Structure 1
Amino acid sequence: MRLGWNLTSGRSYNITAWTSKSDPSPSNYAIAVDHHGQLVIMDGQRLHWRGGPWNGFRFSGAEGMQRDIANGIGFHYVTGPNYVFFSLYLIDPSVIDRLVINTSGTLQHFIWVPDRQLWTFVGMAPRDECDSVTRCGPNGVCHPDGSTLCMCLQGFARRNNSDGLDGCVRTTALACVNGTDGFATQSSVKLPDTSTASVDWSAVSLEECKLRCLRNCSCTGYAQANVSGSGSGCVLWSTDLTDIKFYEGGTGQDLFVRLAAADLITTTGRKHGHRSATVAIIVAPALAIFLLVFVVYWLYKRKKKHGNFSDDDSEETDLDLPLFDLDTITEATQSFSLSNKLGQGGYGPVYKGKLKDGQEIAVKRLSETSSQGSNEFKNEVRVIAKLQHRNLVRLLGCCVQARERMLIYEFMPNGSLDSLLFDPTKSGSLDWRTRYNIIVGIARGLLYLHHDSRLRIIHRDLKASNVLLDKDMNPKISDFGIARIFGGDDTEANTMRVVGTYGYMSPEYAMDGIFSVKSDVFSFGILILEIISGKKNRGVYHDSSFPVNLLDHVWSLWKEGKALKLVDKSIGDSFPTTEALSCIKIGLLCVQERPNDRPTMNTLLKMLDSDISLLPEPTEPGFVNLRGPFDTESSSTNRSNISKNTISHTLFEGR
């Protein structure tokens, strides 16, 4: 295979996608090497994906090329005044590989495994949200598994305190004429777009490359052009640095970003001496003690004045939500009558109501006996108040009056997913198309939480009872009481108190308290398999020799080639078998033992639109068998003991 350009004739060599699965005429999508030596996927004249420049070993943004070398595949890259070519060849003649660019512009690589007589998926591009071109704008770094998708390079700040998607600007102007500029190292990244960069492939050392950049006042950064062997060559940028992606595990390259001296302080150690640090060590504790005494005194005076801490206190002014009057909610729910009660959970009861303008609402009322409801109330407000997505339940406002703490939501006429899915008398209302649309809708809601909202949000309790259905059976993710917002550079967190629902928890969360976006992916995989089968994961299913849970049952059917037996019998035979098999396969990929083996939600949505033969093969899932004397639907663990959870709850009707 050969990709590239003959710059004299203008002839290009590329691989072009079909227009559709049944139409082999060329579409706009093509994989190619551009004039600047970067591997790219083009959508007509628009750049769809950039694999970065050649670095003597691989294209800096093509992550799977290391695996290709291990699999017996080699690469040639040649460039000259009149040509730029890249070719792939087989080190091991027995290897059979296949490159496909599908109708949606995704490049997929497969290797034939003779023993199993099937194509094994090796890699794909684009593979995650950070592969969208210039996803984080100029001078931004995209972190596909980070708590915040877009971060700024050191010495840069977000434009107008935005979410970072429109890029970053310098905090301090460069001072080239003073000779005080320096460089900060951004490690493990896909190098920025080199279409306007200067590339020198000669035997130039990294130190010489640095000096060239310093001597050029317009230079904004540099990197080594050739990282093979001892390294050589020089890449110099003189514009904003765009389309940078961070790689976990050190698979990327080092980028050296030019900064003013003031922005280098954090990287130059203790050059200002130890005296200021000593003063800080002495002053900080004293200040903390003073503040603590002040806060305790203030709370004491407040308690003495009001009798308790909750009567119309400042909490009301901290809630960035419309406030409902208690009399309005009391009237809407007919004084919280039992006939309007929809359900009961650890937070408290939930009631149906109707406002004077006719709008139906669901009122979540904090119970006075709830030990954790107040925390859940504050957390849910904090997390969901500013979220807007069609697949998230909408929080209309709250009521904070007297001793009441209530959340007011839009009402969902079709109730929670579990009330239909696991009821044999109602599951027939969920045909295949409805179930598939619910799967896609939940996936889109999670993608928003993980990647597209202002901050990365981990739900931590995704399950069928926390998915509500509107009048058109569109799914809405609900119950954010134990959700967590990730900030800064966090990609995962650890907790000593595991809260959520057993049967949906990922192994690393249930056993070690470690959670991340991949924990939600695991829960979503369980949910996919429940939606397809109409069975609860924590039920007991018998095969020929011993009882198993749903996950064991699915894996057994998959290995035996009988996966279609999983499909809920209430659907009948009127469903597309290929689509059903794809969903089962994706569900299994979501519940892999290792978090890194699970897809991101961005990749998962692309998988739902891919041919099943192009999906990677799942391995044995991560089994978390927590059945036994603590076999309640929800529980909370403090490592050494297990107690009943008072946060997670299931409502049995619409709300």
Structure 2
Amino acid sequence: MGGIPVHLHYRTTTFSRTLFFFLTSFLFLSFSPTKTSSVDTITASQSLAADQILVSSNDVFKLGFFSLDNISWYLGIWYKNIPETTYVWVANRDTPLKNINSSSSAVALRIGDRGNHLVIVRDGGGSNSAAAPVLWSSNWTTAANPTSPVAQLLDSGNLVIREAGNKQSIFWQSFDFPTDTLLPDAKLGWDLKSGLNKYLTSWKSITDPSTGDYTFKLNYRGFPECFLESREEVTYRSGPWNGIRFSGVPEMKSTQRIDFTFMFNNHEVYYAYHVNNTRSLISRLTLNSTGSLQRMTWIEDTQTWSLFWYAPKDQCDSYRECGPYGICDTNSSPVCNCTLGFTPKNPQAWGLREGSEGCVPQTALDCTTDGFLTMKGMKLPDSTSAYVDKTMTLKECHVACKSNCSCTAFSSANISNGAAGCVMWTDSLLVDMRHYVDGGQDMYVRLAASDLANYEELAFADDSEEKSPSLALVAGVSAVSGILLLVLAACFIWKRKRIRSMLGGQAQKKGTQERTQDMLINEAVVSSNKRDHSCESSNNDELDLPLFHLNSIAQATNNFSDENKIGQGGFGCVYKGMLEEGLEIAVKRLSKNSGQGMEEFKNEVRFIVRLQHVNLVRLLGCCIEMDEKILIYEFMEHGSLDFILFDKLRSSILNWPRRFDIICGVARGLLYLHQDSRFRIIHRDLKASNVLLDGEMCPKISDFGMARMFSRDQVDASTRRVVGTYGYMSPEYAMDGLFSVKSDVFSFGVLLLEIISGKKNRGFYSTNNELNLLSHAWNLWKEGNGMELLDPSVGVSYSSQEVLRCIHVGLLCVQEHAEDRPVMSNVVLMLGSETTSMPHPRNPGFCLGRNNDTYSSSSMHDESCTVNQVTVTLLHGR
């Protein structure tokens, strides 16, 4: 018959089935999560199931499905060899999958039908089924229809779709659609041909990867620069790229390990960075859920992410902080100053350190006679509307700007090789300028000729057209200077005699020593025309703190009536007041019987007038008349934190998100004091009553009467006069008088645990006879019952993972030995990132228990008050 014998047909069929079984088993094992090191690609006929992962060829990144709560599932990319999972990309961040771990809800990732995008489908058992419902689909950037597309996860962290056998033919890539992380070699910016904008968007929270409130985008209009926005409102600006760095990021320097790139042409505008050796350095740029832009580097020795750089970091990073023609400078006090030749638009608000209205010209401009003032070390102003010409020289730029009556300023577009290119601001206000001591670049601002006569930094003063006027200016300035010197000398002699006369007359009424101190405050601390010669003012900085009259303060507080009293402590009373112009203020009136005397008062003025941060209370001015010593602050609508936190009725308004924001805000304020302020400041009295809350519950650290300043290379110090509050003092400080930044870290840890629990550390009692709140938290943590510490009044809307992370951070901060405690930069990092690994905490410091006789102080009657003076006696064996 010509047919195949029956026994031969049976053997052939059996062999085919056996071969098919082995082949399918091999393919399944290849995609099994237990053996993924060589699987980085899927083809158009394959899919990636929910329990499978792709791993890049050199084991750098993984791709797969993940969940943070076992309810919502996402497709994402994370590092393979970082112990704490660190996600760098999330595909379906706003369309999470639900309950995909059940067999009836199985899903799979595969290449879309057109071969130029990805889809997540309901996997009904056939991954190639065209009828499988699509649950999510990626965007695509090309209309090409490849013949043999494959999806591959690269060692760069980029997921690409390309033609099989051709690595250059990329039809789609995850780098074109970043989430909150910019990886090395990824581009942030615009593809002008396709109109694609690649930018970062924060997570909603550390446990919710959906689109958050913050974006970091590159604006290519004018002179391109990056903007950080909160709900489309600009909060921070990088400054334009000047050939070396962004104008507003002086720390940004290419090194042997990292190179920065900025491309600006007719096809694309983007910023990128390249790590030269990815095996020795892992770096990522992240926009976190609190609106902080952070560059993180992985430290192999400690197995933690380290915060290398972040923004915004201080008051001057806030967009338009000083308004039009205002210059922000953290090295001056106040931080806002007008451009030379300009004056505050609203002098009254400016005197109260509110500079957002900016400055206006002192003299009207005249196009024919105007000149240009050289301003050095500047962050260039907002350049969205600026004109750029890369071919001009700086001198040609000067001529062009001078001949254009609408041109308000100009600068070099590229400073990488001298000064090249031209950027001009025309018909626009100069906003968001900043001065740097080290960094920035030269810019030239148009001024009236009469105003230029007062300044020497003239732009291009050697030009022939300006030689003659400059000689006249020199002669004029010399004459004026001589007259001014004579006037100043006369004023100095008169002032000196007046002070001596006042001191002599007042010494008869009151002790000479106290009155001399009052005069020192008036003359050395408050007056804008005098210098502070204390050690804290070694740089001869002018304080320029507004001085209020006692009558105006008395009127604002209804003559310090009890109805206006909003607080009281060891220093005296605090009153609410209203100035004539309608500004609400808080008035801190030092009691004559207070243990906090002139030294603390001077300390408060010296420090807080120089400190500018959103999480530090603002000092508006002071008043020193007769026997009164008064400080005037911005008014905090919700008062001090302890007023709400430890009250059973009020504490319910502090839900968990608010408590977490307060924790993070205090941490950022303390980080500024320790690391980012002009001086390194040790607060020494951080506690709940010294954290104030404004109308939006934003926390602000207050009371710097006990603060001390460290030099940058100083580690610690000692004192025989221990100040602070029982329950918040670190063991080494309370027992031996040793204090450092780690002393403040201990106080912060106590405060953090109090915010979580709603209970005070001092005066804490429990049924288990714990010594204090710290021991209670420690025991709960060791037993795995950390959530029992949470205050029930926070309600039910909270992330248990976030709460436990905060408790973990708090216990790290209150460890007994100072060297074990983290610094505040690591604290901020640990609070803001769930992927940061943290060491296990050790025993907390339990010094200062219930025995109220451990130290003696006149203020022991109030457990929340400040210990004004405790003498430490060192005992030695005979």
Structure 1 residues 462, 38: closer, same or farther in 2, change over 3 A? same
Q: Which residue of 1 aligns with 2:334?
A: 148
The answer as to whether partners of 2:188 and 2:271 remain within 8 angstroms in 1 is yes
Q: Which residue of 1 aligns with 2:375?
A: 185
Q: Which residue of 2 aligns with 1:287?
A: 494
Among 295, 298, 306, the alignment partner of 1:109 is 295
Q: Which residue of 2 aligns with 1:213?
A: 401
SS in 2 for 1:220: strand
Number of residue pairs matched? Answer: 543
Larger radius of gyration: 2
**Correspondence 1:176 to 2:367:** yes
Among 38, 52, 62, the alignment partner of 2:225 is 38
Give the superposition deviation at 1:371. 6.9
What CA distance in whole angstroms lies between the structure 1 residues aligned with 2:564 and 2:363?
A: 56
**Correspondence 1:7 to 2:192:** yes
**Correspondence 1:581 to 2:805:** yes
Give the superposition deviation at 1:47. 4.2
What CA distance in whole angstroms lies between the structure 2 residues aligned with 1:390 and 1:119?
A: 25
Among 821, 827, 835, the alignment partner of 1:613 is 835
Among 433, 450, 457, the alignment partner of 1:244 is 433
**Correspondence 1:501 to 2:724:** yes
**Correspondence 1:167 to 2:352:** no
Q: Which residue of 1 aligns with 2:553?
A: 319
The answer as to whether partners of 2:242 and 2:413 remain within 8 angstroms in 1 is yes
The answer as to whether partners of 2:787 and 2:803 remain within 8 angstroms in 1 is no
The answer as to whether partners of 2:216 and 2:228 remain within 8 angstroms in 1 is yes
Q: Which amino acid in 2 is paired with 1:123?
A: W
Give the superposition deviation at 1:129. 4.5
What CA distance in whole angstroms lies between the structure 2 residues aligned with 1:298 and 1:209?
A: 63
RCO (CA 8 Å, sep 6+): is it higher in 1 or 2? Answer: 1
Among 418, 422, 432, the alignment partner of 1:234 is 422
Structure 1 residues 169, 442: closer, same or farther in 2, change over 3 A? farther
SS in 1 for 2:498: helix
Among 422, 446, 450, the alignment partner of 1:258 is 446
Structure 1 residues 171, 447: closer, same or farther in 2, change over 3 A? farther
Structure 1 residues 16, 80: closer, same or farther in 2, change over 3 A? same
Give the superposition deviation at 1:241. 1.0
Among 239, 247, 255, the alignment partner of 1:52 is 239
Q: Which residue of 2 aligns with 1:544?
A: none
Give the superposition deviation at 1:164. 0.7
**Correspondence 1:29 to 2:215:** yes
Q: Which moved more, 1:192-201 or 1:54-63?
A: 54-63
What CA distance in whole angstroms lies between the structure 2 residues aligned with 1:563 and 1:178?
A: 79
Q: Deviations over 1:594-629 (max 9, x none)?
A: xxx8569xx96x986x33336x989x9xxx9x99xx
SS in 2 for 1:217: coil
Structure 1: segments with no counterpart, 5+ residues: 309-313, 334-341, 351-362, 485-495, 540-548, 635-643
The answer as to whether partners of 1:419 and 1:652 remain within 8 angstroms in 2 is no
The answer as to whether partners of 1:111 and 1:119 remain within 8 angstroms in 2 is yes
The answer as to whether partners of 2:326 and 2:432 remain within 8 angstroms in 1 is yes
Q: Which residue of 2 aligns with 1:136?
A: 322
Structure 1 residues 645, 149: closer, same or farther in 2, change over 3 A? farther
Q: Which amino acid in 1 is paired with 2:388?
A: V
The answer as to whether partners of 2:283 and 2:298 remain within 8 angstroms in 1 is yes
Structure 1 residues 159, 632: closer, same or farther in 2, change over 3 A? farther
What CA distance in whole angstroms lies between the structure 2 residues aligned with 1:511 and 1:71?
A: 44
**Correspondence 1:75 to 2:260:** yes
Give the superposition deviation at 1:259. 2.5
The answer as to whether partners of 1:532 and 1:567 remain within 8 angstroms in 2 is no
Give the superposition deviation at 1:127. 4.0
Structure 2: segments with no counterpart, 5+ residues: 1-185, 458-473, 516-547, 575-586, 673-677, 708-718, 765-771, 866-878
Q: Which residue of 1 aligns with 2:687?
A: 464
The answer as to whether partners of 1:319 and 1:381 remain within 8 angstroms in 2 is no
Alignment of 1:625-644 (within 5 A): none
SS in 1 for 2:430: coil
User: How large is the RMSD of aligned CA atoms in angstroms?
Assistant: 6.8
The answer as to whether partners of 2:373 and 2:452 remain within 8 angstroms in 1 is no
Q: Which amino acid in 2 is paired with 1:194?
A: S
Percent identical residues: 28
Structure 1 residues 404, 290: closer, same or farther in 2, change over 3 A? closer
The answer as to whether partners of 2:729 and 2:743 remain within 8 angstroms in 1 is no
Structure 1 residues 70, 151: closer, same or farther in 2, change over 3 A? same
What CA distance in whole angstroms lies between the structure 1 residues aligned with 2:295 and 2:701?
A: 38
What CA distance in whole angstroms lies between the structure 1 residues aligned with 2:305 and 2:666?
A: 32
What CA distance in whole angstroms lies between the structure 1 residues aligned with 2:204 and 2:645?
A: 40
SS in 2 for 1:265: coil
The answer as to whether partners of 1:152 and 1:164 remain within 8 angstroms in 2 is no
Q: Deviations over 1:49-95 (max 9, x none)?
A: 432211111222245633xx347222332222343233332322424
SS in 1 for 2:363: coil
What CA distance in whole angstroms lies between the structure 2 residues aligned with 1:519 and 1:174?
A: 55
Structure 1 residues 292, 569: closer, same or farther in 2, change over 3 A? closer
Alignment of 1:186-201 (within 5 A): 186-187=376-377, 189-201=378-390
Q: Which amino acid in 1 is paired with 2:862?
A: L
Structure 1 residues 116, 19: closer, same or farther in 2, change over 3 A? same
Q: Which moved more, 1:143-152 or 1:442-451?
A: 442-451
Give the superposition deviation at 1:441. 4.7
Q: Which amino acid in 2 is paired with 1:13?
A: K
Q: Which residue of 1 aligns with 2:310?
A: 124
The answer as to whether partners of 2:603 and 2:705 remain within 8 angstroms in 1 is yes
Among 153, 157, 171, the alignment partner of 2:343 is 157
Structure 1 residues 185, 481: closer, same or farther in 2, change over 3 A? closer
Q: Which residue of 2 aligns with 1:489?
A: none
Q: Deviations over 1:461-486 (max 9, x none)?
A: 6443735999xxx99989859489xx
Q: Which residue of 1 aligns with 2:272?
A: 87
Give the superposition deviation at 1:445. 8.6
Structure 1 residues 167, 570: closer, same or farther in 2, change over 3 A? closer
Give the superposition deviation at 1:587. 9.3
Give the superposition deviation at 1:116. 4.5
What CA distance in whole angstroms lies between the structure 1 residues aligned with 2:373 and 2:639?
A: 58
What CA distance in whole angstroms lies between the structure 2 residues aligned with 1:38 and 1:127?
A: 18
What CA distance in whole angstroms lies between the structure 1 residues aligned with 2:388 and 2:638?
A: 62
Alignment of 1:469-548 (within 5 A): 482=705, 500-501=723-724, 524=748, 527-528=751-752
Structure 1 residues 142, 289: closer, same or farther in 2, change over 3 A? closer
What CA distance in whole angstroms lies between the structure 2 residues aligned with 1:265 and 1:519?
A: 49
Q: Which amino acid in 1 is paired with 2:241?
A: W
Give the superposition deviation at 1:16. 4.5
Structure 1 residues 12, 413: closer, same or farther in 2, change over 3 A? closer
SS in 2 for 1:5: strand
- TM-score normalised to structure 2 length: 0.46
Q: Which amino acid in 2 is paired with 1:139?
A: Y
What CA distance in whole angstroms lies between the structure 1 residues aligned with 2:453 and 2:811?
A: 47
Q: Which residue of 2 aligns with 1:223?
A: 411
Q: Which amino acid in 1 is paired with 2:364?
A: A
Q: Deviations over 1:209-260 (max 9, x none)?
A: 444433333222222211213332222222211122344x513333333333
